[in-house]
Structure 1
Amino acid sequence: MLFGSADRKQLAHIAQNTQQLTRITQQLGDIAGRLQNLAVELATVKQQVSDQQQTLHRIGQDTAVLTTGLAEIKTAARDVSTRLHDLVTARPADRTGEPVPAPGPRPPAEAEPDADVLRAAAGIAHATLVAHRDTWAFLIEVAAGERHFHVPGQVDDHDGCVSVRFSGPSIVAALTRLARVSAETDNPVTRAVADQIRHKITAVVHEVVDNPRADGDGAPVRIVVDDRPARPAPEERPPRPDGA
């Protein structure tokens, strides 16, 4: 039996609907696969959230333990601090039961250098000081306020040491200020540095007094603050048998 034109149109329409159903089925399959993947990812996220919650719970427990431990440490530290304070502030009489002797008077310090040394220093036209730059900075800090101390305009710096040329009045002012600082300070370091510089200057002034120049220019006055050990003597080698 032959199909008419109406039948052929109906068959074509059925075939078209079948293709559409096939495409819809494929799309539904894709959607189902995506939903399955989303379900897997959601389960993974839930597991991660659960793990993080457990971690936060453990951190909270550890924090509580640390807080308790710190509180105990602070309490113990306060107890130790209190005991140390009691030991430090306790007077010897409190610890031994004996009376504390009154401190004796401080021996008078030499606040002014010898007048003869000052007069001799005033007669020096100029002198060169060789010292470390820190020593020179100390001298500047100590003597800069003295009326007759003049800071030289030129300072030669070489290998951490300085060479400074200054006048007799500046030497007198430096000696006066160094002696005063040494007598008044309670800092042993300041006193040691001041005494060392003062003794170096005084020794050079004594050399000028003990051995004054008779005529001519004489030797230049140098004040060197650079103590160091002497060079070792060279070893004597025994003579060789061949006389060489």
Structure 2
Amino acid sequence: MRATAESTLGAAQNARDTAVHTHARTDAVHSELQSLRNDIQRLQPATPPPDEHQVLTQLAVLRGTVEALRADLTAAATPDPPTPPTEAAAEETHEPAAVPDDFDDLLTLAAGIAYAHIICHRDHWDFLVAQSSRGQHFRLPTGVKEDHGLIQAEISGRTLIAALDALRAAQQDLAATPGTQKLARRIYERIGTALHKVDTDNADAHHQPGNDCPPVTRIIIDDRPPAELTAGN
């Protein structure tokens, strides 16, 4: 689409330049015609009348030149229609990934948790922080740990809201590459899977004296082969 817009703007600029040049040529021909008429009027009293056929021929030639220039001017003032995008350009345009419609539910669930424990590769973590850090609710977690390339961090529910918002926007961004959209979708899904396991009905009971608090929400982005396949190798 950008190439089509640039092509259209270039064609419009060329049309304007041609129009200016044609205007100048038309003005020059009009000046020549007027000068010829003045010369004829000035010489008429002192010299014999010029050959009528010759004068008419010259006037016809000049008139034809003026009409041709007017036609060129009209054609130059009419911009060429935009060139339709080629098949290659159409193939480069990709639709945004379909975003699940549970966005509002996930925001509500994220708003209700104190924090979540996330485990992912440092590259996933860098992507998540880069996408979310522009959000109003993002807060960079403290005490982030790294071991063998895996990041372990505790992120607040508020930061999860910023992450969900940013990841959803990345999936819908037409300018984003397919890889960026898929990465954003995968992390978004993992956060959603973890949040859907939250028990929203017994939050008070979890902190009653004598009750063991259940583990906090865990978000794991680390797909691995099945355990039996690993053991067999």
- TM, length-normalised to structure 2: 0.51
Alpha-carbon distance change, 218 to 182 in structure 1, aligned in 2, over 3 angstroms: same
State the shift of 1:155 in Å.
1.1
1:199 aligns with 2:195: no
Cα distance change of structure 1 residues 229 and 169 upon mapping to structure 2, 3 Å threshold: same
- How far apart are 1:208 and its partner, in Å? 0.6
Question: What are the superposed Cα offsets for residues 23-80 of structure 1, whole Å, 9 maximum, x if unpaired?
Answer: xxxxxxxxxxxxxxxxxxxxxxxxxxxxxxxxxxxxxxxxxxxxxxxxxxxxxxxxxx
Per-residue deviation at 1:221?
Answer: 1.2
Question: In structure 2, what is the equivalent of residue 163 of structure 1?
Answer: 152
- What's the counterpart of residue 128 of structure 1? 117
| 1:155-178 Cα deviation digits (max 9, x unpaired) | 100001010111001001100110
Corresponding position of 2:176: 186
Q: Is the 8 A contact 1:136 1:162 kept in 2?
A: yes
Contact 2:119–2:153 (CA under 8 A) maintained in structure 1: yes
Q: Is the 8 A contact 1:128 1:223 kept in 2?
A: yes
| Alignment partners' CA distance in 2, 1:197 and 1:122 | 18
Taking structure 1 as reference, are residues 117 and 91 closer, same or farther at Cα in structure 2, changes over 3 Å only? closer
Q: CA RMSD in A?
A: 3.2
Displacement after TM superposition at 1:229 (Å):
1.4
Q: Which amino acid aligns with 2:133?
A: A
Instruction: Output the amino acid matched with 1:223.
Output: I
- Counterpart in 2 of 1:223? 219
- Amino acid of the residue matched to residue 158 of structure 1? D
Question: How far did residue 196 of structure 1 move?
Answer: 0.6
- The question of 1:143 aligning with 2:104 is answered no
Contact 1:112/1:180 (CA < 8 Å) preserved in 2? Answer: no
One-letter code aligned to 2:188 = R
User: Partner of 2:106: helix, strand, or coil?
Assistant: helix
Cα distance in 2 between the residues matched to 1:159 and 1:106: 36
Judging changes above 3 Å, is the alpha-carbon distance between structure 1 residues 232 and 120 closer, same or farther for their aligned structure 2 residues? same
1:117-146 deviation per Cα after TM superposition (whole angstroms, max 9, x unaligned): 211111110111100000000001100000
Residues 153 and 232 of structure 1: CA distance in aligned 2, closer, same or farther (over 3 Å): same
Structure 1, unaligned runs of 5 or more: 1-89, 93-100, 236-244
Match for 2:137: what amino acid?
H
- TM-superposed CA distance for 1:211, in Å, is 8.2
Return the TM-score normalized by structure 1: 0.49
For 1:219, the aligned partner's letter is: P
Tell me the secondary structure at the aligned position of residue 176 of structure 1. Answer: helix
Q: Could you say what secondary structure the match of 2:187 adopts?
A: helix
Aligned residue type for 1:221: T
Distance 1:121 1:230 in 2: 30
Give 3-state SS (helix, strand or coil) of 1:208's partner: coil
| Number of residue pairs matched by the alignment | 137
